[in-house]
Amino acid sequence: MQLAVLYADDRFAVVDKPAGLMVHDSKLARGETDFAADRLREQFGKPVFLIHRLDRATSGCLLLAFDREAASALGRALMAGEVEKDYLAVCRGWPEESFIVDHPLDGGPGKPEKKPALTRFQRLATGELALPSAGFETSRYALLRCGPETGRFRQIRRHLKHASHHMIGDTSHGDGRHNRQFRMLGVHRMLLHAVRLSFPHPAGGGRMEATAPLDAEFRRAFALFGWDESLR
């Protein structure tokens, strides 16, 4: 039940959140009782302050503090754009080698106001599966590095939908036909992973960086296309 610790000291920690685990209780919980925040309080034996969030279906680097002073410092760094977040995603189609989606997004259920949202994408690899698609004999997919410069609700997933390169495994904003194909091939999760987090140490001790390994199902997706994990 414990989460893998990527880095920890007496002020903060970076843990590897598994896909399928909610970070904390919210209106989206719908009767869920298992939350990362509760596990982490028990795991570390002290209060935890979450600095940012990850969707339930997203895995990877999650940053938390152990005291209010560290939480405040990390929160200020996040608001100032000093926290770098890199994600890996698998999408349908072959997008350009690099592209930007600058498209306002609302704040999710009950928050209709749209705010600026920008994500930078870099195509790391492409692949094809021998599955007919839209009149073609094969289906094309790509591995992307995603860098959100804002933190809107489900930003990367919604920006990929806006670009017509739907994320694989996304049951809310993705393409059901492609999702079903991957489930038939043994990949049952949304393919979004918070692979890297870089931020200033809250006590002024220089810049910190943590990386999270791929889980078994994400590695299975890599294996389908012969992608090397060094592409991260």
Which residue numbers are catalytic? 55
Q: Are strands 139-148 and 118-129 parallel, antiparallel or unpaired?
A: antiparallel
Helix-, strand-, coil-residue percentages of the chain, each rounded to 5? 20, 35, 45
Q: Are strands 59-65 and 192-200 parallel, antiparallel or unpaired?
A: parallel
CA angle (188 as vertex; 183, 189 as ends), nearest 5: 140
Taking Cα atoms as reference points, which of 23, 51, 53 lies closest to residue 38? 23
Which tokens hold the place of 204? 């002024």
Which tokens hold the place of 71? 């939480």
Per the rule left: phi > 0, alpha: psi between -120 and 50, beta: everything else, 164 is left
Rg (CA), the chain: 18
